[in-house]
Amino acid sequence: MERPVNRRGFLKGTVAGVASLAGASLLGPLAETLAAGQADDKDRPNVLMIAVDDLRPQLGCYGHEQMISPHIDALAGRGVLFKRAYCQVPVCGASRASLLTGLRPTNRRFVTYKTWARKDAPDAVSLPGWFRRQGYETISRGKIFHHKTDCKDAWSTLDRLRGFPGYVMAESRQIGRAYRKKHGNSHKQGPATECADRPASDYPDGKVAERCMTDLKRLAKADKPFFLAAGFHKPHLPFAAPKKYWDLYDRSKIDLADNPFAPKGAPRQALHNWGELRGYYTGIPANGPLSDVQARELIHGYYACVSFIDAQIGQLLAELKRQGLANNTLVVLWGDHGWNLGEHGLWCKHCNFETSLHSPLIFAGPGVAEGKSTDALVEYVDLYPTLCDLAGLRQPDHLEGLSMAPLAHKPDRPWKQAVFSRYHKGESVKTDRYRYTRWPRQDGEPVHMLYDHKTDPAENINIAADPTHAATVTRMRELLAAGYKTAVPKCD
Ligand SMILES: [Ca+2]
């Protein structure tokens, strides 16, 4: 059931959004005023942006019944769950830089985890920077940009807690130090998992939640709107979470991936040796698969971290409500990319499969339908224009995404034909039915893969070389070449 929206909420949530598609002149003076960013500051909704590092849609609200994520599920229950949202780049720094600048990756821009938004896109005003210019108090807690000082002028307050690796046990840290010393490699870490009988407040992510709750108490009395960004570090490796969240799951009942093998016919460019995980002191070989025991422990750790962060988010949202802010605060939750939990024989992100690209996205608040979900294809580059529209701010000219505000109000409307992602030189496009990924040709032969999500949703058989699918390959290749500007929905 949709929440009744008042006139202001409706205008902010829908008409201003449609304005970006159809032209503000059709929509009347109040909508134009809001769309043009001329409303009074005090009338604007606040924004609570919740970023969760390495969170794939492994949540109850995405149909994973074994997951214990009641607070994120409840957030979806009072907003819109985007069931088919995709990151632009499946690696932390690049994904965040793209999302937070509203620009898409290229083969030169937003490539690796070390990406700096400010260096790769020096002329683009970032999402928090744009809100700050419009009179918002902007606060960053925890991990928002990958680098703590990236676009630092975007924030009224910048508080980057030391969140990595996030161990709480001295023993874990000592193992890490010894491992680095032994290998002479600063990237070596301690154990890949840590289960400690310690309170959330001992962890960086517990502190992120606590400090954001303190912010909300103060902001509730402030005379200007806020943009509060809460950046949680887990479930990024290492999977360090309080024991009580490990205890939520029975390890013996945790299922392993049912496709722990490379897809049939996948090119070598599609796969990797999950070097990120192999850098942890886990006793795993430098090459080759994990044992089932190790795989099950890692999945258990990932689940524990998801439930741990879910609890922190629950506290934050409860404080939002306690302070009387829930009705006038837009809440958006995103991961920053997907994660492989053994599917395709892979761990971590860094690839062009659904497991790495499919990402969680939930919107709730004024102008957003209540308790709805949508199958529309959307992208993380769409977040920036969406938040502008829902807050009644004009969009800056450089944005390359499309506002989802019309979709947030009416989740079943027709939407994009395709969404686009890339990882290094592999460019990928997803339509309703297919995912096609292409790398630069080698030796005159195309290097590509095509998956039919209708018959093969787990992406186990690359059908790009199958002559019966030649027409689809051609169509997908043309779609990839035509790019995102041709894949937008038609106005209605
Ligand atoms: Ca990440």
**What is the whole-number distance in angstroms between the Cα of residue 336 and the centre of ligand 1?**
5
Distance (Å, whole) CA 404 – CA 70:
25
**What is the whole-number distance in angstroms between the Cα of residue 87 and the centre of ligand 1?**
11
Tens digit of pLDDT for each residue in 132-172?
Answer: 999 999 999 999 999 999 999 999 999 988 899 999 999 99
CA distances from 448 to 222, 358, 401, 438 (A): 54, 19, 26, 4
Residue 10 has pLDDT above 70, yes or no: no
Question: Could you count the other beta carbons within 10 Å of the beta carbon of residue 291?
Answer: 11
Residue 490 has pLDDT above 80, yes or no: no
Beta strands in 316-470 (DSSP E): 329-334, 340-341, 347-348, 358-359, 361-364, 372-379, 419-423, 426-430, 434-442, 445-452
Lowest mean pLDDT among 40-54, 266-280, 383-397: 40-54
The single residue listed with the structure tokens 């090119």 is 267
Residue 19 has pLDDT above 70, yes or no: no
Distance (Å, whole) CA 74 – CA 459:
30
**What is the whole-number distance in angstroms between the Cα of residue 465 and the centre of ligand 1?**
33
Distance (Å, whole) CA 251 – CA 261:
22
Residue 33 has pLDDT above 50, yes or no: no
Residues labelled catalytic: 92, 146
Q: Helix, strand or coil for residue 420?
A: strand
Tens digit of pLDDT for each residue in 276-305?
Answer: 999 998 777 788 999 999 999 999 999 999
CB 361 within 8 A of CB 85: yes
**What is the whole-number distance in angstroms between the Cα of residue 113 and the centre of ligand 1?**
8
Q: What is the pLDDT of residue 281?
A: 87
**What is the whole-number distance in angstroms between the Cα of residue 96 and the centre of ligand 1?**
8
Question: Could you count the other beta carbons within 10 Å of the beta carbon of residue 487?
Answer: 19
Q: What is the pLDDT of residue 14?
A: 36
CB 175 within 8 A of CB 281: yes
Pairing of strands 372-379, 79-86: parallel
CA distances from 68 to 294, 350, 400 (A): 22, 26, 35
Q: Is the peptide bond before 360 cis (omega within 30 degrees of 0)?
A: no
Which amino acid type is present at position 328? N
**What is the whole-number distance in angstroms between the Cα of residue 355 and the centre of ligand 1?**
13
Within its chain, how far is the Cα of 173 from the centroid?
28
Distance (Å, whole) CA 21 – CA 330:
21
pTM assigned to the model: 0.92
CB 386 within 8 A of CB 14: no
Residue 32 has pLDDT above 80, yes or no: no
Q: What is the pLDDT of residue 41?
A: 67
**What is the whole-number distance in angstroms between the Cα of residue 276 and the centre of ligand 1?**
12
Domains belonging to the chain, first-starting first, are 7-413 (3.40.720.10)
Q: What are phi and psi of 24, to 5 degrees?
A: -65, -20
Q: Identify the CA nearest to 284 among candidates 235, 353, 342.
A: 342
DSSP string, 399-426: --S---HHHHHSTTS---S-EEEEETTE
Distance (Å, whole) CA 154 – CA 385:
17
Helix (H) or strand (E) holding 46: strand 46-52
Measured between its terminal Cα atoms, the distance across the chain in Å is 23
Q: Is the peptide bond before 235 cis (omega within 30 degrees of 0)?
A: yes
Q: Helix, strand or coil for residue 211?
A: helix
User: Bridge partners of 139?
Assistant: 157, 228
**What is the whole-number distance in angstroms between the Cα of residue 342 and the centre of ligand 1?**
17
Tens digit of pLDDT for each residue in 441-451?
Answer: 878 788 999 99
Distance (Å, whole) CA 277 – CA 13:
42
**What is the whole-number distance in angstroms between the Cα of residue 472 and the centre of ligand 1?**
32
Distance (Å, whole) CA 156 – CA 162:
19
Say what percent of the chain tops pLDDT 70: 91
Q: What is the pLDDT of residue 12?
A: 37
Q: Give residue 426's pLDDT band: very low, low, confident or very high (50, 70, 90).
A: very high
Compare 444 and 99 and report the one with higher pLDDT: 99
Token pair listed for 99: 């999302």
10 Å CB burial of residue 255 (0-12, 13-18, 19+) is exposed
CB 363 within 8 A of CB 82: yes
CB 359 within 8 A of CB 338: yes
Token pair listed for 93: 């720094």
What is the total residue count of the chain?
492
Token pair listed for 72: 């994120």
Q: What is the pLDDT of residue 171?
A: 96
Report, as an integer, the average pLDDT of 384-388: 98
User: Bridge partners of 330?
Assistant: 47
Q: What is the pLDDT of residue 3?
A: 37
CB 298 within 8 A of CB 380: no
Distance (Å, whole) CA 118 – CA 397:
17
Residue 480 has pLDDT above 80, yes or no: yes
**What is the whole-number distance in angstroms between the Cα of residue 309 and the centre of ligand 1?**
14
Q: Helix, strand or coil for residue 292?
A: helix
Residue 265 has pLDDT above 80, yes or no: yes
Tens digit of pLDDT for each residue in 42-64?
Answer: 679 999 999 999 999 999 999 99
Distance (Å, whole) CA 421 – CA 435:
10
**What is the whole-number distance in angstroms between the Cα of residue 432 and the centre of ligand 1?**
26
Find all residues with CB under 8 Å of 328, minimum gap 6, and list them.
45, 46, 365, 366
Residue 466 has pLDDT above 50, yes or no: yes
